[in-house]
């Protein structure tokens, strides 16, 4: 626009748009296929040419899929576990981050490095020993087994520390002089100031937990404790895969995340950008 | 910013102070305080001691969790890898024979190969595609928000749903083969032909993760000050020149981050492989995490599984150390 290429610029603008849209449609097709299949009778699932808008739509796939396994139960379990993990992890990570950012004590640096090191120990690596520890504690097939080991994650500690380092010490000092006490200072001064970061972390942890598969898959065999991801996986164990029902329940399982993304796009995207720090 | 090095100095200084002669009275703060109540210095010091205790208290709960569910398992993984244990009979120490067994095991070789195939096969196109898309998205576009939502759907869908949808796409009469047929290509047996399964997985991983890494690149792009481009434009630099002289060098830290994160993320792939192919056909997609799972939880060879975990851990450690280095380098900017 600064140079005299405005004609070229306009062409490029539309070329880019077409490119991005074309690629976007390719990205979208599998999801559209999922939605359309979820509304087909089983006999039509692989029929050609593809009916993108099934007429009449087979809405009954949804209740049928929902009732095939106790999905109400799975959803409740997922909700309990993901909320509990989020609260536990965010609260403790906040404490730990505060301790590492705003206190000075012997061994602090070593402790911080040790905590940082746990970031390279995902459950995929530690599944055998973590399972054995949970077994030792009698936590197989329990809620605490689903919750506590997952809440032991250092990503939040690291994130909270980074944010709290930017808080001016003078604020905390002032609160102390006013006699706010250590806990009072933390909850009344520090937390309100870093609230956006807390929220981003909470959303991130919630999403990860809602979606987590490996750990529940290993320690849960009791059907009444299954979460949504391992409940979904049961469809795959069947002799004949009823793809229309699988796609119906997949659609349902996707709804909470899509809604959440829709309402909290910014925090979500921030979470993804931040997750570069994780892994 | 010049702050971080100074903070680092302050930290090491305070560590040296507190690790020195002061430490014993600090630890016994409450007991020692009444005797020397008068000195202002002492009183300050006991306040300091109380604060230290609070520092530990704030850290303790999370530290406890991490010790029990991260450090302990890690130590146990090393220990188990030197033993033979099947959950029923007693643990038997076997030295390094698990490692020796793995190194001879053709299934393990196959698994390492499958993991490397998946990791590098996925990551290399991923880096390029996500960068290109980020560059395009970083410019003015009509309906950018709608497009962004569309691009995000694959990345935000639950991992099992993602796996189910792709299992469906890979079906002999699924959408992929319909598409191939439409352009006159022969159908592919995505889940039965051992040459086709891994490329299929790679395709599915691109679909899911390109938007994810595009976001990381976008964050990096938006950190580049706009003035640089304006100045370059005034100097008469062409679009390509601007890209080469400004965007690429300033995007380098982000690029390195994307490389490391994607390598780690892909090397622990598990769920979609388990759901889609179960490691088949003939183990062609039995990646390391699946190998560990099968060895440990289906054949109950906990020792052997732990030894395999150590290999996976070593791989990830290399990647993570790369990442930690990046952070340290990045902090000096």
What is the C-alpha to C-alpha distance for residues B224 and B229, in angstroms, rounded to an integer? 9
CB distance A48–B178 less than 8 Å? yes
Asked whether residue A252 is assigned to any structural domain, the reply reads no
Asked whether residue A1 is assigned to any structural domain, the reply reads no
Q: Tell me: do A12 and A108 sit in the same domain.
A: no
Q: Tell me: do A159 and A40 sit in the same domain.
A: no
What is the C-alpha to C-alpha distance for residues B108 and B85, in angstroms, rounded to an integer? 19
- Nearest residue in chain A measured CA to CA from B302: A128
| Six token digits for residue B46 | 């006991």
pTM for this model (two decimals): 0.83
Q: Which residues of B touch A257 (CB under 8 A)?
A: 156-158
Domain layout of chain B by residue ranges? 20-67, 100-331
Q: Tell me: do A54 and A92 sit in the same domain.
A: no
A2, B233 Cβ separation under 8 angstroms: yes
What is the C-alpha to C-alpha distance for residues A103 and B117, in angstroms, rounded to an integer? 46
Query: How confident is residue A243, by pLDDT bands cut at 50, 70 and 90?
Result: confident
Q: Tell me: do A11 and A149 sit in the same domain.
A: no
Asked whether residue A83 is assigned to any structural domain, the reply reads yes
Q: Distance from B185 to chain A by nearest Cα, in Å? A: 17
Asked whether residue A266 is assigned to any structural domain, the reply reads no
Q: Which residues of A touch B5 (CB under 8 A)?
A: none
Q: Tell me: do A151 and A191 sit in the same domain.
A: yes
Asked whether residue A254 is assigned to any structural domain, the reply reads no
- Show the domain range for A37: 6-62
Q: Which residues of A54-67 are buried (b: 16+ CB within 10 A; e: fewer)?
A: beeebeebbeebbe
B307, B99 Cβ separation under 8 angstroms: yes
User: Which CATH number does the domain housing residue A187 bear?
Assistant: 1.10.3720.10
CB contacts < 8 Å between A and B, how many? 274
B276, B167 Cβ separation under 8 angstroms: yes
As for how many domains chain A has, the answer is 2
Class of domain B100-331: mainly alpha
CB distance A93–B62 less than 8 Å? yes
At A137, is the secondary structure helix, strand, or coil? coil
Residue-level pLDDT, tens digit, chain B, 333 residues = 333 333 333 333 333 333 333 333 333 334 444 454 556 667 667 777 888 888 899 999 999 999 999 999 999 999 999 998 888 888 888 888 899 999 999 999 999 999 999 999 999 999 999 998 888 888 777 777 777 778 888 888 889 999 989 988 998 888 888 888 888 888 888 888 888 899 999 999 999 999 889 888 888 888 888 888 888 888 887 778 888 888 888 888 788 888 888 888 898 899 889 988 888 788 889 999 999 999 999 999 999 999 999 999 888 888 777 776 766 655 443
Asked whether residue A215 is assigned to any structural domain, the reply reads yes
Asked whether residue A58 is assigned to any structural domain, the reply reads yes
Q: Which residues of B215-251 are buried (b: 16+ CB within 10 A; e: fewer)?
A: bbbbbbbeebeeeebeebbeeebeeeebeeebbeeeb
Q: Tell me: do A130 and A16 sit in the same domain.
A: no
Q: Tell me: do A98 and A123 sit in the same domain.
A: yes
Using the structure block, give the residue that is written with the tokens 């395999």: B308
Domain's final residue, options A62, A78, A97: A62
Full DSSP string of B128-171: HHHHHHHHHHTS--TTHHHHHHHHHHHHHS-HHHHHHHHHHHTS
Q: Tell me: do A119 and A168 sit in the same domain.
A: yes
CB distance A213–B166 less than 8 Å? no
Q: Tell me: do A212 and A105 sit in the same domain.
A: yes
Using the structure block, give the residue that is written with the tokens 């390109």: B210
Q: Which residues of B touch A276 (CB under 8 A)?
A: 216, 257-258, 261
- Nearest residue in chain A measured CA to CA from B77: A129
Q: Tell me: do A146 and A28 sit in the same domain.
A: no
What is the C-alpha to C-alpha distance for residues B142 and A10, in angstroms, rounded to an integer? 12
Nearest to B302 among A118, A128, A148 (CB): A128
Q: Is B17 exposed, middle or buried (0-12, 13-18, 19+ CB in 10 A)?
A: middle
Q: Tell me: do A140 and A36 sit in the same domain.
A: no
Q: Tell me: do A207 and A78 sit in the same domain.
A: yes
What is the C-alpha to C-alpha distance for residues B71 and A121, in angstroms, rounded to an integer? 9
Asked whether residue A261 is assigned to any structural domain, the reply reads no
- Pick among B48, B59, B175 to test the A interface (most A CBs inside 10 A): B59
| B43-62 residues touching A, CB cutoff 8 A | 51-52, 54-59, 61-62
| Six token digits for residue B56 | 């530990």
């Amino acid at each position: 626009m600064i140079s005299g290429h405005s004609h070229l610029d306009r062409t490029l603008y539309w070329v880019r748009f077409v490119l991005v849209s074309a690629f976007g449609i390719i990205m979208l097709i599998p999801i559209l296929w999922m939605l359309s299949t979820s509304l087909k009778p089983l006999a039509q699932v692989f029929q050609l040419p593809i009916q993108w808008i099934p007429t009449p739509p087979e809405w009954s796939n949804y209740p049928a899929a929902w009732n095939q396994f106790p999905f109400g139960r799975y959803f409740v379990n997922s909700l309990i576990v993901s909320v509990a993990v989020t609260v536990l992890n965010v609260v403790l990570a906040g404490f730990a981050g505060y301790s590492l950012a705003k206190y000075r004590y012997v061994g602090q640096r070593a402790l911080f490095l040790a905590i940082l090191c746990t970031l390279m120990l995902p459950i995929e690596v530690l599944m055998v020993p973590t399972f054995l520890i949970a077994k030792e504690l009698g936590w197989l097939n329990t809620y605490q087994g689903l919750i506590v080991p997952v809440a032991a994650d250092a990503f939040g500690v690291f994130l909270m520390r980074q944010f709290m380092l930017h808080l001016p010490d003078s604020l905390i000092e002032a609160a102390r002089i006013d006699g706010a006490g250590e806990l009072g200072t933390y909850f009344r001064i520090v937390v309100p100031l870093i609230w956006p970061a807390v929220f981003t972390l909470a959303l991130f942890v919630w999403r990860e937990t809602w979606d987590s598969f490996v750990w529940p898959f290993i320690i849960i065999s009791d059907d009444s404790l299954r979460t949504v991801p391992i409940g979904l996986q049961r469809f795959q164990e069947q002799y004949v895969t009823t793809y229309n029902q699988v796609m119906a329940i997949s659609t349902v399982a996707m709804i909470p995340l899509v809604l959440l993304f829709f309402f909290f796009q910014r925090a979500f995207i921030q979470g993804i950008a931040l997750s570069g720090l994780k892994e | 910013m010049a702050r971080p090095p100074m903070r680092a100095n302050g930290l090491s200084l305070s560590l040296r102070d507190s690790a020195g002669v002061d430490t014993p009275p600090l630890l016994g703060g409450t007991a020692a305080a009444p005797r020397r109540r008068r000195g202002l210095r002492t009183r300050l010091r006991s306040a300091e001691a109380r604060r230290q205790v609070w520092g530990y208290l704030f850290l303790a709960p999370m530290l406890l969790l991490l010790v029990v569910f991260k450090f302990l398992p890690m130590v146990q993984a090393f220990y188990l890898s030197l033993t033979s244990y099947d959950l029923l009979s007693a643990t038997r120490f076997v030295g390094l024979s698990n490692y020796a067994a793995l190194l001879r095991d053709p299934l393990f070789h196959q698994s390492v190969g499958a993991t490397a195939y998946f990791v590098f096969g996925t990551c290399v196109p991923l880096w390029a595609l996500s960068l290109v898309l980020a560059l395009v998205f970083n410019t003015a576009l009509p309906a950018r928000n709608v497009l962004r939502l569309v691009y995000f759907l694959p990345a935000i869908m639950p991992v099992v749903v993602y796996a189910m949808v792709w299992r469906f796409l890979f079906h002999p009469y699924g959408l992929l083969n319909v598409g191939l047929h439409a352009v006159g290509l022969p159908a592919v047996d995505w889940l039965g032909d051992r040459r086709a399964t891994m490329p299929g997985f790679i395709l599915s991983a691109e679909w899911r993760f390109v938007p994810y890494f595009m976001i990381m690149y976008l964050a990096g792009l938006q950190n580049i000050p706009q003035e640089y481009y304006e100045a370059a434009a005034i100097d008469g630099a062409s679009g390509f020149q601007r890209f080469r002289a400004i965007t690429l060098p300033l995007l380098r830290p982000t690029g390195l981050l994307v490389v490391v994160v994607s390598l780690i993320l892909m090397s622990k792939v598990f769920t979609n492989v388990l759901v889609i192919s179960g490691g088949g056909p003939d183990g062609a997609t039995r990646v390391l995490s699946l190998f560990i799972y099968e060895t440990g939880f289906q054949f109950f060879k906990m020792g052997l599984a732990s030894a395999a975990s150590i290999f996976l851990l070593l791989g990830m450690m290399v990647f993570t150390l790369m990442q930690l280095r990046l952070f340290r380098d990045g902090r000096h900017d």
